[in-house]
Structure 1
């Protein structure tokens, strides 16, 4: 509850409940919702009281707009260019391939493996070799996830150019 007293002239308090803002006069326990107040009871309040009510309503609207913008930004992540920023190493993200980026087609879940970060223990020669460490590493690049086996994803190297990425929704965000 917000109590706004201005040199004894205005004795109003405010409460917010499920998006509605209620105005209470003096010590009354019975409030009036602002939109109803403005339409039906304006003649019952002084000009100073109405100014305070309008000011408080405007502040509440601004606060709610800011919350809405913040929620929109969190709910719908924008595509991030790989030239501007790369995702965290080995983190699964949604990627957009260059083939048809204008229509947001050719999307897939993938992760990026930086050079010389994941040791390679295969028996073919498809790897990058680090002479300083005398060790083979998985080739640097984007890898698409195909299946979850045990505690790891089976994946393959993406030959096409990845242009953009965005975080995957967390399980709590997607309703899972």
Structure 2
């Protein structure tokens, strides 16, 4: 949520820093008395609202150790002894319509066409 008091302080600092005059920042009844200042303030608020909406969502993924091991075994089947495999980048993404139902799937980042696996599915097909 936008704090208009903080935004107004920031707007006034920016306004003065580009040559605006202090006398143009008289504020009465929720508006600036100077039309140029008021237009600037209106635009500043629009910018603040757009930035609030456009903030990128922080992305995180929570996986079980079994799911992480599935991804590791898929990308580096020879384990830690193969340095080339250890440098392999894997992509993990939640898919609603994966071939085996919704869940996290893993594939080679540079070779998605090589296929993927659903994480958390054991050899017997039981999830976990």
Structure 1 and Structure 2 fold alike (TM over 0.5): no
Q: Comparing both structures, which one devotes a greater share of its residues to helix? A: 2
Q: TM-score, normalising length from structure 2?
A: 0.37
Greater RCO between the two (CA within 8 Å, min separation 6)? 1
Q: TM-score, normalising length from structure 1?
A: 0.29
Larger radius of gyration: 1
